[in-house]
Amino acid sequence: MKILVVNPFGGTEFHGNENLSRIARSGTEFDMVNISDMYPLKNNQWLYFKYMCTDGTLEKVLWAEKNGYDAVFISCNLDIGLYEARQLVDIPVTATLESAALFSYMMGSSFSLVTVDYQNGKIQESLLKTYGLHNNFVSQRPFNIDANDLYLDKTSSSNTIEAVIDAAKLCVDQDGAEVVIPGCTLAGSILTHDVPDIESILGVPVIDGMLTGFKMAEMMVDLKASGMPTISRKGWFEKVPKTDFETLRAFHNRSF
């Protein structure tokens, strides 16, 4: 099994390879790429930025299918291009927030997000509504470190951990969260790497969406190999018309 992990921004999650290598099962290979060739910023936390980095993300997804990958995992809590990708390719495509929220439904009756800032959390909340996964969502609490500053050359791991834990405690103690999801893969990656016992600190599980999204991709490949469909082509994920797709690709001088 071969999975392409896409960081849909102009940087790379610094603990990503190490964390995923630890949990990838025997026989699973993966490559991690970013979209710096089409999107120069190391963050995408604003709506305009989200739209601007979607094109580059979809190019990586199309490339992955063409080059024999079995699945793609989009590693970002804004799930950049997830639904668009599912209309384009026949290999499974998973993403961070959707996978973490689905998993939270099996772990408890309520969950909260700890986010880089309030507006970014509102984008994620709107995604949960789109996914039909908003019923168990009880709050989002920002930890107020800009995504650009979560990189280790800007903010130490200890400072990020302290800020995330402080916000998560409010989610648990004041909002009734039974599960907490870090609302940025950069923050979740740090917690997984440096605080493996975080449940003992907060009293509830903390779901790293990178791990769940990656494992979800593995599972979807297994389901497909067993003969089960992994997507419905009726309705929302109907594939785009081939002729129009080819016309657009040709107009932008892109390969098929």
109: helix, strand or coil:
coil
pLDDT of residue 119: 95
**Hey, what are 254's tokens?**
């892109």
Identify the helix (H) or strand (E) that includes residue 172: helix 157-175
pLDDT digit string (tens) for 122-181?
999 999 999 999 999 999 999 999 999 999 889 999 999 999 999 999 999 999 999 999
In three state form, how does the secondary structure of 189-256 look? HHHHHHCCCHHHHHCCCECCHHHHHHHHHHHHHHHHHCCCCCCCCCCCCCCCCHHHHHHHHHHCCCCC
The pLDDT score that the predictor gives to residue 117 is 96
Reported as a single tens digit per residue, the pLDDT across 41-96 is: 999 999 999 999 999 999 999 999 999 999 999 999 999 999 999 999 999 999 99
pLDDT digits (tens, 9 = 90+) for 202-229: 999 999 999 999 999 999 999 999 999 9
3 pLDDT higher than 80: yes
Of 210, 212, 152, which is closest to residue 185 (Cα–Cα)?
210
CA pair distance 81, 7, nearest whole angstrom: 12
Question: Residues 6 or more apart from 144 whose CB is under 8 A from it?
Answer: 116, 117, 163
Average pLDDT for the chain: 96
Predicted pLDDT of residue 14: 87
Task: Give the pLDDT band of residue 255 (cuts 50, 70, 90).
Answer: confident
Which pLDDT value is given to residue 189? Answer: 94
177-207 pLDDT, tens digit each: 999 999 999 999 999 999 989 999 999 999 9
Supply the pLDDT for residue 165.
Answer: 97
Residue 217 burial by Cβ neighbours in a 10 Å radius (0-12, 13-18, 19+):
buried
Over 80: is that where the pLDDT of 256 sits?
no
Burial state string for 45-54 with b = 16 or more CB within 10 A and e = fewer than 16: bbeebbebbb
Q: Residue 17 phi/psi, 5° resolution?
A: -60, -45
